[in-house]
């Protein structure tokens, strides 16, 4: 299993800049809707429940579990050549929102609901992005 990171730069736009900045400090942010109170991932500009864009950043506790995953033996993106097999998947924060993430866990250990913890990953231009290992 490869835990190496690919050589990919991630460009960040203003709306989601707080998420990536916090991640660089080891903090996961999600958005709380001021209108209905529900939680939504930073991936979306509007509340997934009511559609409001009046969202406020909130720090996640860091507790998270594995929802689903795929193990890739043959990469389709050239930046992953030599990095296979690797795991990518969806992680669920205790507060509800999901994150797409690189999963730094061996194939045999993967299980639904497995507790996972943030491990820093950094893109080639310095942008922090979510990778999770065993909790």
Partner 1 sequence: MGKVYGRSASDFADDAVRRAAADAGIALSDIDGLLVSKGVGDSGLNLKLRDRLGLRELAIASEINSFGATASVMMGYASELIRSGQATTIACLFADAPLKEGLTAGAAYGHRGQLAPVDFTGVRIASGLTSTTMYYALAAQRHMNKFGTTSEQFGQVAVSQRAWAEKNPLATMRKPMTLQDHQDSRLVADPLHLLDCCLVSNGGVAVIVTSPERARDLRQRPVDVLGYGQTHLSPTFRSDSTFGIETGAKKAGAKALSMAGVSAGDIDLLELYDCYTYTVVITLEDYGFCEKGEGGAFVSDGKLGPGGALPTNTGGGQLSSYYMWGFTPLSEAIIQARGDGGERQVDKRDLIMVSGNGGILEHHGTTILTPGESTR
Which residues bind to partner 1, rule: CB under 8 A? Answer: 5-6, 8-13, 15-16, 39-44, 48-49, 67-77, 80, 83, 86-90, 92, 96-102, 107, 112, 121, 123, 127, 129-131
3-state secondary structure of 132: strand
Q: How far is the CB of 12 from partner 1 (least distance, A)?
A: 6
CA distance 6 to 123: 8
* φ, ψ for residue 116, nearest 5 deg: -130, 160
Judged by beta carbon, residue 84 or residue 135, the one nearer partner 1 is 84
CA distance 91 to 26: 16
Q: Report which of 98, 97, 112, 106 is spatially closest to residue 134, judged by C-alpha positions.
A: 106
Judged by beta carbon, residue 34 or residue 77, the one nearer partner 1 is 77
Q: How far is the CB of 130 from partner 1 (least distance, A)?
A: 7
Q: How far is the CB of 121 from partner 1 (least distance, A)?
A: 7
Judged by beta carbon, residue 67 or residue 134, the one nearer partner 1 is 67
And the tokens for 104?
């730094």
């Amino acid at each position: 299993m490869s835990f190496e990171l690919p050589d990919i730069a991630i460009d960040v736009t203003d709306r989601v800049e707080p998420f990536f900045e916090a991640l660089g400090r080891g903090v996961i942010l999600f958005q709380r809707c001021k209108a209905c109170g529900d939680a939504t991932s930073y991936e979306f500009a509007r509340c997934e429940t009511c559609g409001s864009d009046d969202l406020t950043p909130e720090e996640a506790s860091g507790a998270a579990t594995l929802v689903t995953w795929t193990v890739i033996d043959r990469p389709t993106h050239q930046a992953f050549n030599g990095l296979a097999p690797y795991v990518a998947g969806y992680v669920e924060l205790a507060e509800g929102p999901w994150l797409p993430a690189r999963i730094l866990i061996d194939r045999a250990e993967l299980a639904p609901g497995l507790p996972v913890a943030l491990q820093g990953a950094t893109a080639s231009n310095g942008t922090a992005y979510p990778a999770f290992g065993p909790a």
